[in-house]
Structure 1
Amino acid sequence: MAAHHRILLAGDDFVRNDLLDDQLRRALTAEHTRALDVRTMTLPWPHVPFGPVSEVDEASDVEDELAGTVGDVEVAVTQMAPFTRRVLEAAPSLRLIVCTRGGPVNVNVDAATERGVVVCNTPGRNAVAAAEHAVTLMLGTLRSVPRVHASVAAGEWRSDLYAYDLCGLELSGCTVGLVGYGAIGRRVARILRAFDADVVVSDPFVGADALEPGVRLVDFPTLLASSDVVSLHVRLTPDTANLFGHESFAAMRPGSYLVNTARGGLVDHDALAAALESGRLAGAGLDVFPSEPLPAGWPLLSSEKVVLTPHLAGATRQTAHRAAAMGADAVRAFLAGERPPGVVNP
């Protein structure tokens, strides 16, 4: 590799530059490593929330700084840098953007394609973390863990919670319906089978031959009517927006639970609040929301039936290491003249 291959590592305080640099040097040959011309740029996320930047989304607001940095960069590796059309126009040498996340929403992929820039992502980087968090929310919701913790911390000792009507449920013997069966859904199913839960799946893109042993494929209405817990693992598209509204909640088994670690826009939260208040649903575990951060006075903030986490399902150290390793492998393949994994604009 010639020394003119310039690489920008635009890390943050989750997928850090030291992780990216370490994995890159592990992935490349000694010859390639000696010829690296690496520069770094540290983004302020997660200490400063991401958001829309020009025409891209979920990015750090550093468009001006990035545009002034990428002039001679050939390869960029980032999770949160805003590769807008303006930034791409300022990067005539750029040939590869590796976005170390599941979807490159911070990259204008159309503009990159027009300029011949390959864009890669790292699908499945957080599948383990997100799956474990989904099951954590199930357990926390079924057993009201935050509420009873707050009670004990307040000096109470409520033996009345042994009352039958106040007791929670075990996952063992419950029917858990998974809406979506991608990398995260499959791992959730595997964990749930170890709990002896009955797992059913609704996913129009999956055949029965792709299921984990003991997992059954059903249609969406059957899943809603038969599940004690429904867990969401689908992408947000025009077809899935507000998939769970008044109609879906009315079709769910009375006293059932909803868990969402996918995208907030999958759920009509006014309809969810109504379903919880009426008792149609017994509880909900939510990691994602219609707007983030949540506005003051959001109705479900005060509900004892809801367990809330601030979009942290993928937040593990292993996720950060995995993202860096997958990003480094994409760079290695590109510099070796191979097709990189995770290309989104073939």
Structure 2
Amino acid sequence: MTHVLSSGDHFILAETLSASLSEELHAAGAAPATYTEVTLDWPLTPFGPVEGVDEASGDVDELIASLRGAEVALTQMAPFTARVFDACPELRFIGVCRGGPVNVDLEAATRAGVVVSFAPARNAQAAAEFAVGLMLAAMRKIAVADGELKNGQWRGDYYTYAQTGREISGNTIGLVGYGAIGRIVAKILQAFGARVLAYDPYANVEAAAAEGVSVLPLEDVLRASNVISIHARLTPETHHLLNAENLALLPHGAVLVNSARGGLLDYAPLPALLESGALGALALDVYDEEPPGPTWPLFSAPNVVMTPHLAGATRQTAERAARVIAHEAALFLAGERPLYVANPAVLDAAPTSAS
């Protein structure tokens, strides 16, 4: 009987991981597994680098102890470092409930013959809806006016023409990134009546056009859009993809939304752009430093909406991620090839079955 470590946290619960795999095994007519369940302290304690892996939570020695006898591990944040693979020779499969297994040392996993799978687009719907929510909050001063009213300010001047917001309907909105999240955002915005442009060097231009979205060079998207929403992946090539030079191309008073990754945007020029009115509003869920320090300049800048990296925080995201990764584990245990393998060389070199 296969033994499984369900290393959950306070978002994707250990019992949800176990139940999801149990359901998958039952549906496949496979033998049930046994489980060890542990709970990491994320998000109550921030994640961070752990012994060479990124965005991890928990102690390596505690993880090694929890893995005793386990062939399969399901997690979101546990730190699977080289030391873990050296200490746990029975381990054969790790399922990571994230868009990428950044908390796993893939080289060490591959050397150890451990298959690492992940859950792409698990939070795409949640992130897309949240981005549109930020957009509305910034365009219509929802968050700013809420804070002012709670502090005793009734801003009747918001009804003057100069202070009024903008509607999504009839507006041109540019998406920087047209992957799983960007495509959902586009559909939502089109339902509002927006014209949607996109910049994405990897997008299928013909397919996007069939969906009513024009894919253009970044500079053209920026020049034409009254609202920009960022949905690209952060890579060395996309670091500070939006910066002082190209933000100057935006129409005066444009709204900028970043709910993707902080590193995609150069935050340094933003306070001055807001003060001058070149940027009409800014909505952020991600930051160049998380959390921002107490003297961060954007805290005192006008027309800024901020949330603490919440775009993917829905119950459906947690449940969906657990289901995806449980299905991956069930495929592996059945001797079949999982769909989302981060180190396919392991499968190419050895049988997929954990037995």
TM-score of the superposed pair, with normalisation by structure 2: 0.94
Aligned to 1:46: 43
Pick aligned residue for 1:339 from 331, 337, 349: 337
Deviation, 1:250, is 1.0
Tell whether 2:80 aligns with 1:83. yes
Tell whether 2:179 aligns with 1:182. yes
Aligned to 2:353: none
Pick aligned residue for 1:162 from 159, 164, 177: 159
Aligned to 1:321: 319
Conserved? CA contact 1:179–1:231, under 8 Å: yes
Aligned to 2:303: 305
CA 1:30–1:307 in 2, change beyond 3 Å: closer, same or farther?
Answer: closer
SS of equivalent to 2:186: helix
Tell whether 2:193 aligns with 1:196. yes
How far apart, in 2, do the equivalents of 1:117 and 1:192 lie?
Answer: 42
Conserved? CA contact 2:22–2:33, under 8 Å: no
How far apart, in 1, do the equivalents of 2:264 and 2:155 lie?
Answer: 36
Aligned to 1:20: 17
SS of equivalent to 2:239: coil
How far apart, in 2, do the equivalents of 1:49 and 1:32 lie?
Answer: 39
How far apart, in 1, do the equivalents of 2:329 and 2:35 lie?
Answer: 12
CA offset digits 1:115-166 (Å, max 9, x no partner)? 1111111001000000000000000000111111122222332222101111
Conserved? CA contact 2:174–2:198, under 8 Å: yes
Aligned AA (1:242): H
How far apart, in 1, do the equivalents of 2:200 and 2:297 lie?
Answer: 31
Conserved? CA contact 1:71–1:90, under 8 Å: no
CA offset digits 1:44-64 (Å, max 9, x no partner)? 111111111110111113212
Deviation, 1:69, is 2.2
Residue segments in structure 1 that go unaligned for 5+ positions in a row: none
SS of equivalent to 2:235: coil
Aligned AA (2:267): H
Deviation, 1:31, is 8.3
Conserved? CA contact 2:3–2:69, under 8 Å: yes
Aligned to 2:349: none
Conserved? CA contact 2:98–2:321, under 8 Å: yes
The equivalences for 1:92-171 within 5 A come to 92-171=89-168
Aligned to 2:217: 219
Conserved? CA contact 2:240–2:265, under 8 Å: yes
Greater Cα shift, 282-291 or 17-26: 17-26
CA offset digits 1:84-104 (Å, max 9, x no partner)? 111111110111110001111
Aligned AA (2:336): E
Pick aligned residue for 1:285 from 283, 286, 290: 283
Conserved? CA contact 2:25–2:32, under 8 Å: no
CA 1:106–1:158 in 2, change beyond 3 Å: closer, same or farther?
Answer: same
Deviation, 1:293, is 1.4
Deviation, 1:277, is 2.1
Aligned AA (2:176): V
SS of equivalent to 1:58: strand
TM-score of the superposed pair, with normalisation by structure 1: 0.96
Aligned to 1:296: 294
Aligned to 1:237: 235
Deviation, 1:278, is 2.3
Tell whether 2:226 aligns with 1:228. yes
SS of equivalent to 1:27: helix
Q: How many residues align?
A: 343
Aligned AA (2:59): V
Aligned to 1:270: 268
CA offset digits 1:175-229 (Å, max 9, x no partner)? 1101111110000000000010000011111122222622111111100100011
SS of equivalent to 1:269: coil
How far apart, in 2, do the equivalents of 1:291 and 1:67 lie?
Answer: 31
Query: Deviating runs (4+, > 4 A) in structure 1?
Result: 30-34
Conserved? CA contact 1:8–1:40, under 8 Å: yes
CA offset digits 1:266-292 (Å, max 9, x no partner)? 111111222222221111111011111
SS of equivalent to 1:111: helix
Aligned AA (1:213): E
Conserved? CA contact 1:202–1:223, under 8 Å: yes
SS of equivalent to 1:29: helix
How far apart, in 2, do the equivalents of 1:279 and 1:156 lie?
Answer: 22
How far apart, in 1, do the equivalents of 2:103 and 2:211 lie?
Answer: 37
How far apart, in 1, do the equivalents of 2:73 and 2:272 lie?
Answer: 46
Tell whether 2:34 aligns with 1:37. yes
